[in-house]
Amino acid sequence: MIRAYGPAIVLIAAAALVPFAITANTVLNFIVFALIIALAAQGWNVLGGLAGQFSFGHAAFFGSGAYTTALLQTHWGVNAWVAFALSILLAGAVGWIIGFLSFRSGLRGSYFALVTLAFAEVLRILANASTFTGGAAGTLVKLDMGPANFQFASRAAFVWIALALVGFVLIATIAIMRSRFGAWLTAVRENEDAARALGVDTLAVKLKAITLSAAITGAAGALYVQYYLYLDASIAYGPWISIEALVAPIVGGIGTAFGPILGAAALHGFGELTKLFAGGIPGIDLVLYGLLLIATIAFAPDGIMGLLKRLASVFDRRRTR
């Protein structure tokens, strides 16, 4: 038990101490945003990494969670904490609906990936055209500072909340990987037809995976709104978040518990360093994303986690000689 969950607990505890040592708002802003991306990447990893169902449209879940919490507050005055919880439920429901329509039709591989992309784009167009969502002008959440309204004067509070969500999902992912459900996910990922022949209800397993994945990604979207207090269609359903959620697990280590977190930290850490030294070049951070992805696929197909495991095995062999 300690061996399975110990590294996660140590990582979370160490990260929770960072706001005590670093108080610069610029750094805390970076940490919060990186944690939001890590949370969305963890959501993608449940479906794409553990279940092997690649999605190109996780923006559909991110945006559904984000718009739910924003619109509930602005139109009906729902408490932000209640809206946050409801946004997770609604995003999960959106995931179940998309999954049911796709998996029931037998869509797999690139067909499923393109369908998720299509759903995200349709939702983006609808949100951009609707006056209910604020259209192209977007939705602005009222500034009402106070813990009861999920708004904090200190950015450190958001760091701890985002870290708590990422940590909870990290531990939950480890638990899933050690459970029977995790074994079913692996079976579906490796060979869906063989898993079905062995008695695994593959449709139910994939529906649970996409529902859980969507709920986690929806939580990331809701947290984004509470932190920035603004949302429009290009932010909520734009391709940027689908790309971020997909690339981070690939760079960090797809199908692993720590991979999405390491990938998000690496992408945004290198991105910020690049903008610091070459900030005058437009889109330089996106170029770096592409180079990192190419380098990962070419030299570390198992991601950072796979690279660390290989280095650890080399070190162990040298130590035992």
pLDDT along the chain (321 residues), means of 10: 85 94 92 97 98 96 98 96 98 98 93 96 96 94 94 94 97 96 96 94 97 98 97 96 93 94 89 70 70 78 85 75 64
Closest by Cα among 159, 128, 165 to 227: 159
Is there a domain that residue 44 lies in? yes
- 225-263, pLDDT tens digit by residue? 999 999 999 999 999 999 999 999 999 999 999 999 999
Residue 251 lies in a domain: no
Residue 294, domain member (yes or no): no
CB 176 within 8 A of CB 185: yes
How many CA atoms within 13 Å lie on the side-chain side of 256?
Answer: 23
pLDDT for the residue 278: 65
**What's the pTM value of the predicted model, to 2 decimals?**
0.95
> Considering the domain boundaries, does residue 263 fall inside one?
no
Predicted pLDDT of residue 15: 94
- Let me know if residue 207 belongs to a domain: yes
Query: What is the residue range of 133's domain?
Result: 2-238
Q: What is the DSSP letter of 47?
A: I
Let me know if residue 245 belongs to a domain: no
Domain count, the chain: 1
**Residue 188, in any domain of the structure:** yes
Task: Check residue 298 and give its pLDDT.
Answer: 79
d(CA 239, CA 226): 21
Look at residue 280 and tell me if it is in a domain: no
Question: Can you tell me the distance from the alpha carbon of 263 to that of 296, in angstroms, rounded to the nearest whole number?
Answer: 11
Write b or e for each residue in 146-167: b if 16 or more Cβ atoms lie within 10 A of its Cβ, otherwise e: eeebbbbeebbbbbbbbbebbb
Q: What single letter denotes the amino acid at residue 179?
A: S
Structure confidence at residue 3 (pLDDT): 79
Q: So what's the pLDDT on residue 319?
A: 72
